[in-house]
Structure 1
Amino acid sequence: MPARLPPASPGMRIGLYGGSFDPAHPGHRHVSLVALRRLGLDRVWWMVTPGNPLKDRDRLAPAAARVAAASRVAAHPRIVVTGFESEIGARYTRQSLRYLVSRLPGVHFVWIMGADSLASFHRWQGFREIAALMPIAVIDRPGFTLSAPGGHAAQALARRRVSEQDARNLANRPAPAWTFLHGPRSTLSSTAIRRKDEEATQLLKKTPDHINLA
């Protein structure tokens, strides 16, 4: 059976924002709003992955729980959360994007990633295929403004970089094409949030029951 996908029609411009969203946070929403505005998109789909091959999956919350939590954080009519990757059994981003391009050939997709992801993009399986499947928009992140564009993947695709001033037409450009969007940056990260929660949990475990923390 085909995977259940959010509504889409030919000609739509849809940004794809993938990740574990463990947990989803306002920083994800910030990136999506920037992409909607700067790229002239109709929708942004949050693709909640079953797991990240480059990260430890042992402590990853169930996909259904992450989808539900992400939907509450998104809270925007043009941001849609989907867990279709679990339905198709995708392990790598290129599999998911290949599926969408095949399933919805009339839709103009743009892959959205943070500058921190661009810095490690060359480690993704088939990163060149991803770049060939659809244009890519890179959103600036603290600490990666200068280093990410100088990374291996960015250098490999340097000739395909599109001026930031032309970003609004990125969705209609033939791939490979990518742009780097500067502007206000969010310092939030799922990793930092998880670490803070874990530290709080450990503190509670070490605190005697008779002590009132209020």
Structure 2
Amino acid sequence: MKIGLFFGSFNPIHVGHLIIADTMATDTDLDRVWFIVSPQNPFKKNNSLLHEFDRYTMVERAIADNYRLKVSDIEFTLPKPSYTIDTLTVLSDKYPEHEFVLIMGEDNLVQFENWKNYQKILEFFTIYVYPRPNTPAHQFHDHPKVRFIQAPLLDISATYIRKRIQTHQEIKYLVTEPVEALIRLKKYYQ
């Protein structure tokens, strides 16, 4: 099976994430997309980061009705901060029957050379890239292991959603109803 790996904090997961994941699962040769909930991104120091189990539960609820999407807690047991190359190695060892593809936004591709062992990622894995607004030129545009996927240009951020929650504004249509219900029930981000 060909599995797309969509890494992120998902703090919270929002409709932008879901549209990208569903586009990758339906408009490409991927069989499934796994959301890899990252306990700690080495490039982000975020004091508003919910506990990884809470973020995992939100992703689980958001994708419950889509068999092509799955959530993984693989990084919860790995050393922190999480490095993509380490997670890819563990997943490849654990699931040798699967072919893994990395999914990322073009804004992350611009910074890709700063990632730990990025050359090894490009050597052993393909990257499916979705467009992001206002992305500057980068060296990976014509790389043979980088494939650009047509997907909606969405400029929705988890930061924006958290700020709306903190100022008691609506988040309807920015997150799914089950995620919004969980955020309200647990009083996340207030």
For the superposition of Structure 1 and Structure 2, which TM-score range results when normalised by the shorter chain? 0.7 to 0.9
Which of 172, 197, 205 aligns to 2:165? It is 197
Match of 1:169 in 2: none
Cα distance change of structure 1 residues 200 and 135 upon mapping to structure 2, 3 Å threshold:
same
Q: CA–CA distance in 2 between the matches of 1:134 and 1:125?
A: 14
Match of 1:151 in 2: 138
User: Is 2:69 aligned against 1:79?
Assistant: yes
The residue correspondences of 1:1-214 to structure 2 (distance < 5 A) are 12-75=1-64, 76-89=66-79, 91-144=82-135, 147=136, 150-152=137-139, 154=140, 158-160=142-144, 177-200=145-168
Instruction: Show CA shifts across 1:83-113 (max 9, x none).
Output: 1111233521111001111222221111001
How much does 1:139 deviate? 0.7
- Identify unmatched segments of 5+ residues in structure 1: 1-11, 161-176, 202-214
Q: CA–CA distance in 2 between the matches of 1:130 and 1:199?
A: 41
Q: CA–CA distance in 1 between the matches of 2:16 and 2:29?
A: 20
How much does 1:45 deviate? 0.3
User: Does structure 1 conserve the Cα–Cα contact (< 8 Å) formed by 2:33 and 2:68?
Assistant: yes
User: Does structure 2 conserve the Cα–Cα contact (< 8 Å) formed by 1:16 and 1:45?
Assistant: yes
Q: CA–CA distance in 1 between the matches of 2:42 and 2:54?
A: 19
In proportion to residue count, which structure has more helix?
Answer: 1
Q: CA–CA distance in 1 between the matches of 2:43 and 2:15?
A: 23
The count of corresponding residues between Structure 1 and Structure 2 is: 167
Kindly name which structure, 1 or 2, has the bigger radius of gyration based on alpha carbons: 1
User: Does structure 1 conserve the Cα–Cα contact (< 8 Å) formed by 2:6 and 2:102?
Assistant: yes
Instruction: Show CA shifts across 1:179-213 (max 9, x none).
Output: 11134222212122223334449xxxxxxxxxxxx
Q: What value does the CA root-mean-square deviation take over the aligned residues? A: 1.8
Give the secondary structure class of the aligned counterpart of 2:62.
Answer: helix
Give the secondary structure class of the aligned counterpart of 1:118.
Answer: helix
- Identify unmatched segments of 5+ residues in structure 2: 170-190
User: Does structure 2 conserve the Cα–Cα contact (< 8 Å) formed by 1:101 and 1:133?
Assistant: no
**TM-score relative to the length of structure 1:** 0.72
Match of 1:4 in 2: none
Give the secondary structure class of the aligned counterpart of 2:101.
Answer: strand
Q: Percent identity?
A: 32
Cα distance change of structure 1 residues 103 and 95 upon mapping to structure 2, 3 Å threshold:
same
Cα distance change of structure 1 residues 88 and 36 upon mapping to structure 2, 3 Å threshold:
same
User: Does structure 2 conserve the Cα–Cα contact (< 8 Å) formed by 1:98 and 1:133?
Assistant: no
How much does 1:31 deviate? 0.6
Cα distance change of structure 1 residues 97 and 143 upon mapping to structure 2, 3 Å threshold:
same
